[in-house]
């Protein structure tokens, strides 16, 4: 079932059954997020089912979702997804209170976590309030990792506190970028790869959407200390064997915001808040 939030010119579409995803952000009828139209129609209807396996088995519906970090396949302290049958694609429960929709995952035995994604509609956008609770009987150490997928073809601009950018993934190459004073610019380009931004100032813009978030200067962040990551992909003639047979379905930009790595005793919680502003002059 799809849950819709409406205020003025803005409409949000959420699908709790599909990993608690925010799958549509429409402003005056214009869709801002990337959604896989081969899998979902304009009303976000499709077949929802938990998805597991290797990277090449992942069913990429699009939209905005939350994962645990660090990602990896080397041990129990890394999350070997996507796919992931609980946190990524499993059904979340849902509760609506005015302009806030709260979606809660089932306990994930792999990570020991239960996720909560609360999305509040604002006059000029929306706010994501994310929580990860340790529901296991053991201490765990994870970071929240929020991924927003947008249609490719434009530049990404991010604020910098310091000019520190790192190459994290080079599927077909490292994304090109420039640093101009206190700004990072990643131009549109056909590449499959990821940049990390340890020097982020806590905001990133793509098209009409600006994401703002707090950065803990004393925090330990995954991926060489990156509270912000930027992923680019485009369709390829064959899956990328070196990335687990990843098969990009479209030109996609991902804005990825991470919280600090946090050791959680049983019952403890870590959180991350992201404010998404829709800028009128760019819609």
| pLDDT tens digit sequence for 169-183 | 999 999 999 999 999
Enumerate residues 6+ apart whose C-beta is below 8 A from 51: 57, 58, 59, 82, 83, 84, 85, 88, 89
Helix, strand, coil % over all residues of the chain, rounded to 5: 5, 45, 50
> Encoding tokens for residue 99?
């302009």
Q: Please enumerate in sequence order all residues whose Cβ is within 8 A of that of 216, keeping only pairs 6 or more positions apart, or say none.
A: 260
Q: What is the mean pLDDT of residues 209-236?
A: 98
- Digit-coded pLDDT (tens) for 101-139: 999 999 999 999 999 999 999 999 999 999 999 999 999
Residue 10, pLDDT above cutoff 50 = yes
| Cβ-contact 259, 246 below 8 angstroms | no
Chain segment 32-60, per-residue pLDDT in tens: 999 999 999 999 999 999 999 889 999 99
pLDDT the model gives residue 140: 98
Question: Cis before residue 123, ω within 30 degrees of 0?
Answer: no
pLDDT at 283 over 70: no
pLDDT band at 242 (very low <50, low <70, confident <90, very high): very high
Q: Is the peptide bond before 162 cis (omega within 30 degrees of 0)?
A: no
What does the alpha-carbon distance between residue 61 and residue 243 come to, in Å, rounded to a whole number? 19
Q: What φ, ψ does residue 206 adopt, rounded to 5°?
A: -140, 120
User: Which burial class, exposed, middle or buried, applies to 167 when counting CB atoms under 10 A from its CB (0-12, 13-18, 19+)?
Assistant: middle
Taking 90 as the threshold, does the pLDDT of residue 281 lie above it?
no
Q: What's the pLDDT band for 62 if we cut at 50, 70, 90?
A: very high
What pLDDT is stored for residue 279 in this prediction?
86
């Amino acid at each position: 079932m799809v849950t819709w939030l409406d205020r003025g010119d803005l409409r949000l579409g959420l699908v709790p059954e599909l990993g608690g995803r925010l799958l549509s952000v429409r402003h005056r009828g214009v869709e801002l997020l990337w959604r896989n139209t081969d899998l979902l129609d304009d009303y976000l209807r499709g077949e929802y089912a938990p998805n597991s396996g290797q990277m090449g088995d992942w069913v990429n519906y699009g939209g905005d979702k939350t994962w645990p970090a660090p990602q990896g396949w080397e041990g129990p302290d890394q999350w070997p997804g996507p796919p992931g049958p609980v946190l990524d694609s499993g059904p979340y429960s849902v509760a609506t209170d005015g302009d806030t929709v709260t979606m809660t995952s089932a306990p994930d035995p792999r990570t020991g976590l239960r996720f909560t994604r609360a999305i509040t509609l604002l006059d000029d956008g929306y706010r994501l309030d994310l929580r990860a609770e340790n529901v296991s009987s053991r201490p765990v150490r994870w970071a929240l990792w929020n991924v927003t997928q947008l249609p490719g073809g434009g530049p990404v601009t991010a604020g910098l506190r310091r000019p520190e950018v790192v190459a994290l993934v080079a599927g077909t190459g490292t994304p090109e970028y420039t640093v101009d004073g206190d700004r990072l610019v990643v131009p549109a380009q056909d590449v499959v790869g990821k940049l990390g931004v340890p020097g982020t100032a806590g905001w990133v813009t793509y098209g009409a959407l600006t994401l703002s978030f707090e950065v803990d200067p004393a925090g330990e962040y995954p991926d060489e200390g990156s509270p912000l990551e930027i992923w680019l992909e485009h369709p390829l003639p064959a899956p990328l064997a070196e990335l687990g047979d990843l098969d990009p379905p479209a030109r996609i930009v991902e804005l990825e915001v991470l919280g600090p790595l946090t050791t959680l005793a049983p019952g403890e919680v870590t959180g991350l808040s992201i404010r998404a502003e829709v800028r009128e002059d760019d819609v």
